[in-house]
Amino acid sequence: MKKVVLLTMFLGIGWGGFAQQPQTTDSPLVHDPVMAKQGDTYYLFATGEGVSVMSSKDLKTWKFEKPVFAEAPQWAVEAVKGYKGHTWAPDIIYHNGQYHLFYSCSAFAKNTSVIGHATNPTLDPADPDFKWTDHGKIIQSVPNRDMWNAIDPNIIIDDDGTPWMSFGSFWDGIKMVKLTDDLMQVAQPEEWHSLCSRPRSFGLDDKDPGDGAVEAPFIMKHGDYYYLFVSFDYCCRGKDSNYKVVVGRSKSVVGPYADKEGKPMAKGGGTLVIEGNEAYAGIGHNAAYHIDGKDYFLCHAYSIAEDGAPKLFIREMTWTADGWPVVNY
């Protein structure tokens, strides 16, 4: 779950405050980062007012760019009570000649949520063709109707060229739905799958997010397997956060995913990838990419030395001989 007050305090990258931010930083404050590379430049997208954006040539020094949206999408303001532009957990993918940005609009601890979609032919703000076009809603979750939460989208194109969107936070866990080839809407007839869940206490009201703390799916193909990364436990509590990343794998993009011991992720399974240590209270909401011959793991980590501030955490990811990801501190 995303705590708006904490994120706003740490990120501070809003429409009115953008000009006050330092132009560059080697230690950015960030939540829920994803990344794409165009040419010689990496572009990072993250939770923030209008979706926060940064760029880097070396993955070390980051330049603040203008947010994706200069003002909150009006359709989302009307669809989600309490949403005013603080936009969560984006995903970015290049497909069919366009960069596709998926983003989450919600309210803390509620599944009154929507996932939206915008496109741009380029990520370079200096390119004359640079322009974000918002296409509106992909899916929406409704309290008392849906036992899932329409946030934390991640898009993967499978080996057959079919696009899928995984998403979810708390409630009944991580879901997946097939998209149309242009990524503009849910494909018809609809095809849905449940990928991962954790036990939820019996008797809770359906509007309650519950205690099955799982969110932030990200799927990566490596070798013969699709790897589903998710975050267990709790973000957004500063030094009290206990976020951690676990993983399972499947030869089919729709699962079933199982951890290293063979336990299905749909029944609470997940092999630990990384968790908090003496430097970070919690580490989570990751993305993973194969870029220029290397595999990268990125997420945010709550720095104990900086009073729980969420810092960008990027590491090269390696693999064990039997095909499981390894991320070192």
Q: Is 198 helix (H, G, I), strand (E, B) or coil?
A: coil
Task: Tell me the pLDDT band of 2, cut-offs 50, 70 and 90.
Answer: very low
Q: Which of 119-133, 202-216, 309-323 has the lowest mean pLDDT?
A: 202-216
Kind and range of the H or E run holding 5: helix 4-11
> What's the average model confidence in pLDDT over 280-298?
97
The token duo for 271 is 């092999």
Answer whether residue 302 shows pLDDT above 70. yes
Query: pLDDT by residue (tens digit) across 96-152?
Result: 999 999 999 998 778 889 999 999 999 999 999 999 999 999 999 998 898 899 999
Say which DSSP state 186 is in.
Answer: B
- Answer whether 68's CB lies under 8 Å from 44's CB: no
Q: Which residue in the block uniquely carries the two structure tokens 């803390």?
A: 108
> What's the average model confidence in pLDDT over 61-89?
96
Arithmetic mean of pLDDT over the chain:
92
Homologous superfamily in CATH for domain 4-326: Glycosyl hydrolase domain; family 43 (2.115.10.20)
Closest by Cα among 95, 112, 105, 90 to 285: 90
CA atoms within 13 A on the CB side of 209: 23
- Residue 4's pLDDT is 39
Torsion, Cα 132 159 296 102, to 10 degrees, reads: 30
> What's the average model confidence in pLDDT over 294-301?
98
Which positions are catalytic?
32, 215
- Residue 21's pLDDT is 54
Omega within 30 of 0 (cis) for the link into 310: no
- Residue 13's pLDDT is 43
Closest by Cα among 100, 103, 91 to 122: 100
Q: Is 8 helix (H, G, I), strand (E, B) or coil?
A: helix
Q: How far apart are CA 301 and CA 268, in angstroms?
A: 23
- Residue 206's pLDDT is 80
The token duo for 143 is 């309290």
Query: pLDDT by residue (tens digit) across 160-177?
Result: 999 999 999 988 999 999
**Assign residue 97 a region: left if phi > 0, alpha if psi is -120 to 50, beta otherwise?**
left
Query: pLDDT by residue (tens digit) across 174-205?
Result: 999 999 999 999 999 999 999 999 998 888 88
Task: Tell me the pLDDT band of 6, cut-offs 50, 70 and 90.
Answer: very low
- Residue 110's pLDDT is 82
Closest by Cα among 99, 98, 165 to 138: 165
Task: Tell me the pLDDT band of 79, cut-offs 50, 70 and 90.
Answer: very high
Cβ–Cβ contacts within 10 Å for residue 199, how many?
A: 10
- Residue 146's pLDDT is 87
Q: Is 231 helix (H, G, I), strand (E, B) or coil?
A: strand
Q: How far apart are CA 299 and CA 291, in angstroms?
A: 16
Burial bucket for residue 221 (CB in 10 Å: 0-12, 13-18, 19+): middle
> What's the average model confidence in pLDDT over 7-24?
50
Answer whether residue 51 shows pLDDT above 70. yes
Answer whether residue 12 shows pLDDT above 70. no
The token duo for 189 is 């007839």
Answer whether residue 262 shows pLDDT above 50. yes
Q: Is 19 helix (H, G, I), strand (E, B) or coil?
A: helix
Q: Where are the domains of the chain?
A: 4-326
> What's the average model confidence in pLDDT over 49-68?
97
- Answer whether 31's CB lies under 8 Å from 285's CB: yes
- Answer whether 304's CB lies under 8 Å from 311's CB: no
- Residue 203's pLDDT is 85
- Residue 22's pLDDT is 64
Residue type, 123: L
Share of the chain above pLDDT 90, in %: 85
Q: Residues for the chain: how many in total?
A: 329
- Residue 207's pLDDT is 81
